[in-house]
């Protein structure tokens, strides 16, 4: 049987950085060559970064991508990678329009170009707006092995390009992907790819992007299956990695032609089998992370990449002593290191002593920057000059805090983080231009009950390592409060968080209506109360900063509802 060593390079590109991404590709290709790989596969649109969104509509960007891929082929040859078939995702274009494509580079030239056929247009994807679908499938014969290529969504389609490649008689399918992370994604992704491998009867090498891009985060988790769908090798999650695998592939000697409307083009690159080589001692198979570890890693990577890729070195946010700011602080320290994290306690006349003490203790445990800036005098000026009472007096406290954080950001160059969670954002339990200020919201897609779970998990992990748990127990166990008036508790304005999160999970993520929510066992008055709060808060959500997506349906590009909207769920 012909042998072939494959390398999957799950790397972290930056959207728009063609020069930097090209250099990164050359560096990782060189590692693949040094590892003895015959084929190296990079992720979907790794040359441009993904998703590029409306950059596709700029002709100069499209032209730059087309030039860059041809230049890249020459650079790979110069770097000593010419004998490795390198599959790279990029943005291509022809007379019909832009295409989400891959280029196969070999011996200094692009020997194959293929565009994505199935363009997803659901959830976070909007590819029908940006691309035109592909028209062909390229099969490249390397060392007697016929290699077919598919791009991301092409793998998800029953009877699609994979079936055409199977009919054409390929021996290996390589699949560049940019598949965003969400909780339990692997429960869907791995079985589906295994099914496609069984459909084709050949191994599938699935290479996924890693890294944060605005509100999306990509988990890597690249893998290789055999023709029966069994996992042969698997990369770690949430880190750049080169997964090298040896394959023995029976050459089927397929032919070209047209299958199910797709033209299969073949090109022979090197017909001779590879010289015998020392096989790897054992394939690398990394176990997937636990649910909490996976989510924490996603939030850390998403936050860290947002900060670094946007040119910041440090972050600043309010430390209230509560659970949300505590988890945000722990995430920030894990993502950026304690020296880059700055917490600000901004007590008012209603702030409790335990909240101030908990904030200081959290900063001590994390080793991050901490200062206290009382807001009483500033609040008093607004209250007295404008005669504020009630909600207006409460909210001016939050807005003074927001103004202070933005002032410190301007003065010291920190990026401001908003610390709100998904539950609060869903029901509008936040103050516009107050606690909602910031450039990024790390736990925006984390329900309140999940915030508590993550805090307990992070402390338990620290215990396992013999470290001091970062989050004070009091911040986890005390009743949550905004402390904007004497004795205030969140439950004064909201249902119990466990109940509230259950309703929100069905209404926001499940799009269930009143009848379905009632059939699920929720009290009609609770349903009506929660639904009204959610619907009335759309204008606030539109002005909330982006945050890492971890659920099936996050606020933002996943859920696009009109602000001006007279529709209401009825009893």
By annotation, the residues acting in catalysis are 44, 116, 152
Phi first, then psi: give them for residue 475, nearest 5 degrees: -65, -25
Question: Are 222 and 8 spatial neighbours (Cβ–Cβ below 8 Å)?
Answer: yes
Token code pair at residue 229 = 């769908």
The token pair at 425 is: 């954002």
Query: Which residues does 251 contact at the CB level (< 8 Å), separation at least 6?
Result: 1, 2, 144, 145, 146, 171
Please give the torsion angle defined by the CA atoms of residues 511, 517, 520 and 524, in that order, rounded to the nearest 10 degrees: 170
Residues β-bridged to residue 212: 217
Closest Cα partner for 568 from 521, 518, 530?
530
Q: What does the alpha-carbon distance between residue 433 and residue 414 come to, in Å, rounded to a whole number?
A: 18
3-state secondary structure of 468: coil
Distance CA 415, CA 317 (A): 9
- The burial of 4, by beta-carbon neighbours within 10 Å (0-12 exposed, 13-18 middle, 19 or more buried), is given as buried
| Pairwise CA distance, residues 413 & 405, whole Å | 11
Return the closest-CA partner of residue 317 out of 398, 448, 409, 214: 409
CA distances from 278 to 36, 275, 281 (A): 10, 10, 9
In angstroms, the Cα distances linking 183 to 51, 289, 298, 548, 549 are 20, 11, 10, 12, 9
CA–CA distance from 472 to each of 214, 315, 355, 479, 534 (Å)? Answer: 30, 21, 11, 14, 31
């Amino acid at each position: 049987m012909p042998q072939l060593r494959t390398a999957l390079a799950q790397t972290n590109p930056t959207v728009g950085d063609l020069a930097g991404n090209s250099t990164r590709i050359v560096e990782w290709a060189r590692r693949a060559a040094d590892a003895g790989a015959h084929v190296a596969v990079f992720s979907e649109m790794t040359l441009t970064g993904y998703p590029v969104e409306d950059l596709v509509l700029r002709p100069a960007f499209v032209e730059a991508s087309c030039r860059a891929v041809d230049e890249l082929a020459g650079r790979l040859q110069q770097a000593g990678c010419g004998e490795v078939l390198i599959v790279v995702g990029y943005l291509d274009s022809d007379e019909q329009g832009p295409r989400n494509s891959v280029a196969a580079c070999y011996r200094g030239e692009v020997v194959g170009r293929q565009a994505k056929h199935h363009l997803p247009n659901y959830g976070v994807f909007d590819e029908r707006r940006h691309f035109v679908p592909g028209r062909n499938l390229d099969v490249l014969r390397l060392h007697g092995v016929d290699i077919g290529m598919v791009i991301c969504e092409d793998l998800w389609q029953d009877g699609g390009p994979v079936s055409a490649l199977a009919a054409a008689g390929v021996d290996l399918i390589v699949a560049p992907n940019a598949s965003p992370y969400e909780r339990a994604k692997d429960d869907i992704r791995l079985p589906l790819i295994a099914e496609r491998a069984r459909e084709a009867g050949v191994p599938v090498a699935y290479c996924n992007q890693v890294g944060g891009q605005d509100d999306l985060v990509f988990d890597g988790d690249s893998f290789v299956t055999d023709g029966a769908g069994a996992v042969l090798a698997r990369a770690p999650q949430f880190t750049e990695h080169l997964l090298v695998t040896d394959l023995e592939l029976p050459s089927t000697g397929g032919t070209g032609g047209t299958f199910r409307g797709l033209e299969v083009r073949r090109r022979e690159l090197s017909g001779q089998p590879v010289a015998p080589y020392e096989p790897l001692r054992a394939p690398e198979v990394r176990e997937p992370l636990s649910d909490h570890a996976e989510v924490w890693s996603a939030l850390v990577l998403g936050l860290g990449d947002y900060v670094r890729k946007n040119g910041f070195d440090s972050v600043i946010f309010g430390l209230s002593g509560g659970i949300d700011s505590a988890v945000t602080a722990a995430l920030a320290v894990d993502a950026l290191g304690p020296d880059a994290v700055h917490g600000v306690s901004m007590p008012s006349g209603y702030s409790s002593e335990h909240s101030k003490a908990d904030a200081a203790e959290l900063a001590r445990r994390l080793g991050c920057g901490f200062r206290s800036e009382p807001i009483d005098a500033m609040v008093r000026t607004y209250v007295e000059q404008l005669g504020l009472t009630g909600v207006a007096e409460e909210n001016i406290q939050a807005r003074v805090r927001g103004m202070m954080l933005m002032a410190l950001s301007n003065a010291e160059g920190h990026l401001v983080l908003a610390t709100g969670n998904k539950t609060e954002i869903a029901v509008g339990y936040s103050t516009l231009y107050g606690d909602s200020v910031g450039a990024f919201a790390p736990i925006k897609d984390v329900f309140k009950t999940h915030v508590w779970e993550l805090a307990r998990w992070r402390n338990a992990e620290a215990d396992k390592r013999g470290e001091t748990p970062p989050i004070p127990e009091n911040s986890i166990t005390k009743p949550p409060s905004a402390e904007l008036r004497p004795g205030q508790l969140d439950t004064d304005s909201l249902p119990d968080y466990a109940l509230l999160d259950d309703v929100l999970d069905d209404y926001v993520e499940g799009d269930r209506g009143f009848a379905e929510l009632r059939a699920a066992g929720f009290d009609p008055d609770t349903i009506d109360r929660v639904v009204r709060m959610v619907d009335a808060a759309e204008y606030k959500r539109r002005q909330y900063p982006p945050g890492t997506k971890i659920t099936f349906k996050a606020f933002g590009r996943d859920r696009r509802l009109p602000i001006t909207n007279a529709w209401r769920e009825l009893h």
